[in-house]
Amino acid sequence: IMLASRSTFARSTTRSPSARVVTRVGSATTRAFKVRAGDVTVEVVKPLGMKIGRGPDIDGRQTVEVKFVVPGGNASKAGVKMGDQIMYHSSFFGDELWAADKASFAQTSINACPNSVDFVLNRGAKRKPNRDKKPAPPKFGRKLNASQKATATHMCVDCGYVYTQKKSFNDQPDGYACPQCNAPKSRFAEYDAETGQIKSNVATPAIVTALTVSMLGIVGYLTVTGLDL
């Protein structure tokens, strides 16, 4: 493992309005982020345009590899290749990367990431994956590119998915669900892409409202009867 300054990163950004991709070559790290010499770190904006699956077992441990890359998709533009071994990937839990040692879990974690996914890829001989975590690599700029920010209007408050489709969110049917976590349309709030902040309140689920009313009723009863709370 080598340690270097941010200036040693090999950075590549595509011109495509649908993808913001940052590529960093291994043996280049920051003080907070380390990768093995020869590994490649990429950030791919969703939709990824790739499929992953179980690779050959190494010393009794599963490997996870890229099974297919959609030509012209975001993964392809980032330089992801079929056969790449995924060593680490973004996690929905915290600002960190998780080791890829089980394909099903890796897929679940990647699906839960709202807008982009970081990968550490091995293009040499397949290696036994670690079972540790790494801090996420430093980000350059915002999550959304200029084209996405221009159409970003709503965010799912349950998973952070940002709605950037050209079709107006209000024109979506009532049965529309978050493509990331399947939350209903009512769980989306208006979103300010420039500040990254939610601009409106979200409807409180009926069960929460019912529980709140019930608790207020209990408090009122106990207060009237003179019981200490």
CA distance 103 to 100: 7
| pLDDT tens digit sequence for 149-160 | 889 899 887 767
Q: With a cut of 90, say whether residue 191 has pLDDT above it.
A: no
% of the chain residues with pLDDT over 90 = 31
Angle (CA) 116-23-143 rounded to 5° is 30
User: Picking from 54-58, 139-143, 173-177, which range would have the lowest pLDDT averaged per residue?
Assistant: 139-143
Q: Is residue 15's pLDDT more than 90? A: no
**Which comes out higher in pLDDT, residue 177 or 133?**
177
Secondary structure class of 123 (helix, strand, coil): coil
**Alpha-carbon gap, residue 205 to 210, rounded angstroms:** 9
Strand, helix or coil at 134?
strand
Burial class (CB in 10 A: 0-12, 13-18, 19+), 1: exposed
> What is the arithmetic mean of pLDDT over 8-27?
36
If residue 149 lies in a helix (H) or strand (E), which one and from where to where? helix 146-151
- 12-26, 35-49, 176-190: segment of lowest average pLDDT: 12-26
- The reported pTM is 0.51
pLDDT of residue 19: 38
Q: What is the sign of the dihedral through the CA atoms of 125, 120, 44 and 163? A: positive
Spatial CA neighbour of 99 closest among 53, 61, 130, 54? 130
